[in-house]
Amino acid sequence: MVKFNKSWFIVGIAALCLTLLGSVQAKREEQPPGTEKASSNSNGLRASDIRYYETPSGSPEEARTRGFMEHQEAIELVARQYLLDTGEELATDFDNADYQRYVMSLGTAFDLFLEEDMDKIVAFVKFMDLYENYAKNDELAKYESKLLEGARLSPKETEAVHSLMPIDGNAPSTADHSKR
Query: Is the CB of residue 147 less than 8 Å from the CB of residue 47?
Result: yes
32 pLDDT higher than 90? no
Give the orientation angle of helix 60-70 with respect to helix 115-131, to 10 degrees.
Answer: 180
Least confident of 41-50, 121-130, 154-163, 170-179: 170-179
Q: Is the domain of 111 the same as that of 159?
A: no
Judge whether 45 lies within some domain: no
149 plus 113 within the same structural domain: no
If one counts the domains in the chain, the total is: 2
Distance (Å, whole) CA 41 – CA 44: 6
What's the mean pLDDT when you consider all of the chain?
Answer: 81
100 and 121 housed in the same domain: yes
Query: Distance between CA 129 and CA 136 in Å, rounded?
Result: 11
Write out the residue range of the structural domain in which residue 113 sits: 68-131
- Tell whether 126 and 72 lie within a shared domain: yes
Instruction: For residues 76 and 123, state if they share a domain.
Output: yes
Residues 91 and 115 in one domain: yes
Q: Are residues 159 and 120 in the same domain?
A: no
pLDDT at site 49: 93
Residue of 102, 104, 107, 70 whose CA lies nearest to 84 = 102
Indicate whether 74 and 108 sit together in one domain: yes
122 and 157 assigned to the same domain = no
Grade residue 173 by pLDDT with cuts at 50, 70 and 90: low
Instruction: Give mean pLDDT, residues 51-58.
Output: 96
Whether 82 and 117 map to the same domain: the answer is: yes
What burial class does residue 42 get, using C-beta atoms within 10 Å of its C-beta: 0-12 exposed, 13-18 middle, 19+ buried?
buried
pLDDT for position 36: 36
Q: What is the mean pLDDT of residues 146-151?
A: 93
Please tell me which residue, 20 or 135, carries the higher pLDDT value. 135
What are the tens digits of pLDDT across the range 157-167?
Answer: 999 999 999 98
- Decide if 104 is inside a domain: yes
Q: Is residue 27 part of a domain?
A: no
Predicted pLDDT of residue 44: 81
- Can you tell me whether residue 68 is helix, strand or coil? helix
CA distance 126 to 123: 5
